[in-house]
Structure 1
Amino acid sequence: MAEVISLMDIDDKEENHSLKKSVNKGKNVIAAGDTPHPKATPWVEKYRPQSLADVAAHRDIVDTIDRLTSENKLPHLLLYGPPGTGKTSTILALARKLYGSQMHNMVLELNASDDRGIDVVRQQIQDFASTQSFSFGAKSCVKLVLLDEADAMTKDAQFALRRALQSRCTRFRFAPLEDIHVRERIKIVIEAEGLDVPESGLAALVRLSNGDMRKALNILQSTHMASQQITEEAVYLCTGNPLPKDIEQISYWLLNESFSVGFRQISDMKTRNGLALLDIVREVTMFVFKIKMPSNVRVQLINDLADIEYRLTFGCNDKLQLGALIATFTRARSALVAAAK
């Protein structure tokens, strides 16, 4: 196999003697030399799959990579997709299969958000790639360069890598995990940790994860640290998300109360429960899909809610946007009445 520089979406850092510095972009990292107490170990690391066979989902992709590796036909790879979908687990499991105990000598990890300039390509990557490879038996293995958040690299650095990567990579997209895969993996952790999680709490974990396994495990561990029993309410309180019953109540006010009454009641609940209006809008949008209404009214309502969410994302005034939210439902109510006549 020819020497390879592979672009991978990597979301954790293991001990790596070739790494010049370790960074944490909101991801769970155990830096080299750290010996955290077992109870303090992030569960996303503690329960990360150690082999390709253990990866929770995307079996078609993982099995293809596994087969190509076994046949010594592994191409340049580009793994992409949202966070917590198995990109890291897959590539690190692949590295273990390729290198075994020599993994840390054969893998260079760089965070492209910090090590992002042209000098990284010209110096660190090229220097690492040009050093002698270790031999395993009668053959010499390729080296692996992992670039985290490569889209954050400077244009010059991306251009320098473009010919080596873009035209030569076999691309695999890691979609958000299906609920059944998140649920199965969470159950394994629950059993291993001896946690008290009723079905409602498990359902809340799966729902709030949105197909992100890392998020699911982080919520599970955080809730466990705050509550002995991981109930639905404990999960929602820990994450700050509105409870489903609160969203049902807010939706009822929006559909039935006057502007002034709805504004006062939603404001009171928002303050009392420490809710963010952005989260309320997102949850109400999902609730709209459950309401029986003409398709044209639903589409207009969802589009209007999307506009409010967009404005809130950019820091628009909460009171103004709450008024816009109530006005949006007032128009929808009028359209529903007209459609019923």
Structure 2
Amino acid sequence: MSSSSAAKGKAPANGNAANLPNYELPWYSRYLISGGMPGIGKTTSIHCLAHQLLGDGYKEGVLELNASDERGIDVVRNKIKSFAQKKVTLPPGRHKIVILDEADSMTAGAQQALRRTMEIYANTTRFALACNMSNKIIEPIQSRCAILRYSKLRDQEVLKRLLEICEMEKVEYSNEGLEALIFTAEGDMRQAINNLQSTWSGFGFVSGDNVFKVCDQPHPITVQAMIRACLKGDIEGAMDKLDELWDQGYSAVDIVVTIFRVVKTFDEYVHL
């Protein structure tokens, strides 16, 4: 996020910044859009980059706003503009950074105002936008940004982090509990960690049944049994499982969504 005209070979302003790499980006990559589903590390990645670039100047040199809460044009005109005008001491060749989370929630007017602000303060401030759908960002902003598209996390990546947390926090769990956390998270690390904490706080043990109680989702084993009964032509058995789900209070949408997710886990290719 440094300017292409950043000075080379100069001593850093402080000791901790001495080891910072001297990033040189072309003009079209001075701004960043990270897009993808929630809970996969978009905003965290931007914060890590800001820490790496600014060192001790991170606290003073970064402004973070959640655009879903502060989405109007006044935010751009007041908060962002004031921050861009503020003088901050940073390592040589570094710039202030504005992080806009949920940027796709900004109104069209606010995005137009942001585009103009990005142009005016290009020499002092860099902008990093995190969003779920980058196509909701207006084209003039997209054309000024390097766009990074994040894919959802793989099950093994979610499992690795959950195991680390369970070990550090002394959480008791079963393998079925971890599988349930991964199933309910759907690649969303934030959701997986939240479900882990809620299950541990509520039950003191992370099992499959406890996880599905916390998440209030149809148990995939019940749904799987219903589908298997259908495949065997056992309509009565399938209806019994469906009635069981109805009695537990699940809606048709909950059941259908879980059916599709369970079918994806089948070894054989099942057509519904």
Q: Partner of 1:135: helix, strand, or coil?
A: coil
Which residue among 72, 95, 111 is the counterpart of 1:158? 111
Q: Partner of 1:281: helix, strand, or coil?
A: helix
Contact 2:3 2:24 in 1 (8 A): no
Contact 2:152 2:188 in 1 (8 A): yes
Contact 1:206 1:216 in 2 (8 A): yes
Which residue among 182, 200, 204 is the counterpart of 1:224? 200
Please show how residues 129-278 of structure 1 align to structure 2 within 5 Å: 129-136=84-91, 139=92, 141-162=94-115, 164=118, 165-252=141-228, 254=230, 256=233, 266-271=242-247, 273-278=248-253
Offset, 1:173: 1.0
Distance 1:112 1:188 in 2: 32
The alpha-carbon distance between structure 1 residues 131 and 86, as it changes in their structure 2 partners (threshold 3 A), is same
Higher alpha-carbon deviation: 178-187 or 73-82: 73-82
Contact 1:133 1:141 in 2 (8 A): no
Offset, 1:116: 1.5
TM-score, scaled relative to structure 2: 0.74
**Alignment partner, residue 120 of structure 1:** 75
Contact 1:240 1:274 in 2 (8 A): no
Offset, 1:162: 4.0
Offset, 1:250: 2.6
Which residue among 106, 113, 118 is the counterpart of 2:61? 106
Distance 1:239 1:196 in 2: 18
Contact 1:133 1:140 in 2 (8 A): no
Contact 1:241 1:279 in 2 (8 A): yes
TM-score, scaled relative to structure 1: 0.60
Aligned length: 227
**Alignment partner, residue 36 of structure 1:** none
Offset, 1:123: 2.3
**Alignment partner, residue 59 of structure 1:** none
Q: Partner of 1:72: helix, strand, or coil?
A: coil
Distance 1:191 1:116 in 2: 40
Root-mean-square deviation (CA, aligned residues, Å) is 2.6
Offset, 1:252: 4.4
**Alignment partner, residue 261 of structure 2:** 286
Distance 1:262 1:211 in 2: 29
Distance 1:286 1:265 in 2: 17
Q: What percent of counterpart residues are identical?
A: 36
Distance 1:262 1:166 in 2: 50
Q: Deviations over 1:10-64 (max 9, x none)?
A: xxxxxxxxxxxxxxxxxxxxxxxxxxxxxxxxxxxxxxxxxxxxxxxxxxxxxxx
Contact 1:95 1:103 in 2 (8 A): yes
Q: Deviations over 1:233-277 (max 9, x none)?
A: 111111112222211233245554558x86676234322x33332
**Alignment partner, residue 72 of structure 1:** 23
Q: Deviations over 1:76-96 (max 9, x none)?
A: 211111111111221111222
**Alignment partner, residue 322 of structure 1:** none
Q: Partner of 1:114: helix, strand, or coil?
A: coil
Aligned: 1:92 with 2:47: yes
Equivalent residue letter for 2:254: D
Contact 2:177 2:207 in 1 (8 A): yes
**Alignment partner, residue 314 of structure 1:** none
Distance 1:97 1:288 in 2: 43
Q: Deviations over 1:181-212 (max 9, x none)?
A: 11111111010011111222112212221111
Please show how residues 327-338 of structure 1 align to structure 2 within 5 Å: none
The alpha-carbon distance between structure 1 residues 268 and 180, as it changes in their structure 2 partners (threshold 3 A), is closer
